[in-house]
């Protein structure tokens, strides 16, 4: 019973994020509403959002972000290489480390 509920919740979350991506250019408030509903569905079913969708939501203001529309994406090389996503709605930064480079081949 619970697995069916979780499966349905994940399907609805995917559909809502797909609708949000389609409508972000024409109607940004509608896209934000789709994402808010998707987050509520996931919370009600106690399901984590998939990684690709978690990265499309600002961690600070919870707004739907799409590169080139309302966020800026940069790659930084200082210390460990990482990606910096700047939300243009709230101005906050989110940092995501890139995978470690491959070990140098031993000669």
Question: Domain locations in the chain?
Answer: 2-97
Q: What is the pLDDT of residue 106?
A: 44
Q: How much is the average pLDDT of 80-106? A: 81
Using one digit for the tens of pLDDT, what is the confidence trace for 32-71? 999 999 999 999 999 999 999 999 999 999 999 999 899 9
Yes or no: domain 2-97 corresponds to CATH 1.10.10.60: no
Q: Phi, psi at residue 75, to the nearest 5°? A: -110, 125
Contact 16, 42 (CB under 8 A): no
What pTM was computed for the model?
0.82
Contact 75, 83 (CB under 8 A): yes
pLDDT band at 95 (very low <50, low <70, confident <90, very high): very high
The whole-chain average pLDDT of the chain stands at 89
Pairing of strands 71-76, 93-97: unpaired
Q: How much is the average pLDDT of 19-35? A: 94
């Amino acid at each position: 019973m619970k697995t069916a509920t979780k499966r349905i919740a994940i399907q609805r979350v995917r559909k809502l994020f797909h609708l949000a991506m389609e409508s972000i250019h024409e109607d940004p408030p509608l896209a934000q509403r789709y994402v808010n509903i998707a987050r509520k569905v996931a919370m009600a079913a106690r399901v984590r959002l998939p990684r690709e969708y978690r990265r499309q939501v600002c961690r600070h203001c919870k707004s739907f972000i799409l590169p080139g529309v309302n966020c800026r994406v940069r790659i930084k090389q200082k210390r460990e290489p990482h990606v910096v996503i700047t939300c243009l709605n709230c101005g906050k930064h989110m940092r995501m480390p890139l995978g470690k480079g491959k070990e140098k081949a031993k000669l």
